[in-house]
Amino acid sequence: GESVGLHLPTLSVQEGDNSIINCAYSNSASDYFIWYKQESGKGPQFIIDIRSNMDKRQGQRVTVLLNKTVKHLSLQIAATQPGDSAVYFCAENGGSNYKLTFGKGTLLTVNP
């Protein structure tokens, strides 16, 4: 079946560095992608989204890049802070109007 996966299960960075979390997707019908942050013991929290008619979108300290040619999505976090430590999930809609398919997640650890 279709799947969304992550290249790296864990990422450790120094406080103040930039972080890049990658995600590969396989469903070419997907036209909407979301990044979620999940802190320990909490529900996923929306970070940023992007539609397939865009290749870049910026938020506060975060940027999402979409490369439809190679079916690749990335989340860039600028000036990473200890509060950014969490599991980050990418999700795609597979062209569906109701369902999101989630990747397994990347654990980001920020060292002070």
Positions in the binding site for other proteins (CB under 8 A): 4, 31-32, 34, 36, 41-46, 49, 51, 89, 93, 96-105
Distance separating alpha carbons of residues 54 and 41, to the nearest angstrom: 33
- Which DSSP category does 83 fall into? G
What is the β-pairing status of strands 86-92 and 106-111? antiparallel
Q: Which two tokens stand for residue 111?
A: 């060292």
| Closer of 34 and 77 to other proteins (Cβ) | 34
Distance separating alpha carbons of residues 48 and 38, to the nearest angstrom: 13
| Closer of 19 and 93 to other proteins (Cβ) | 93
Number of residues assigned to the chain:
112
| Closer of 10 and 18 to other proteins (Cβ) | 10
CB of 95 to other proteins, least distance (A): 8
CB of 44 to other proteins, least distance (A): 5
CB of 80 to other proteins, least distance (A): 22
Q: In sequence order, which ranges of the chain are alpha helices (DSSP H)? A: none
| Closer of 15 and 39 to other proteins (Cβ) | 39
CB of 108 to other proteins, least distance (A): 15
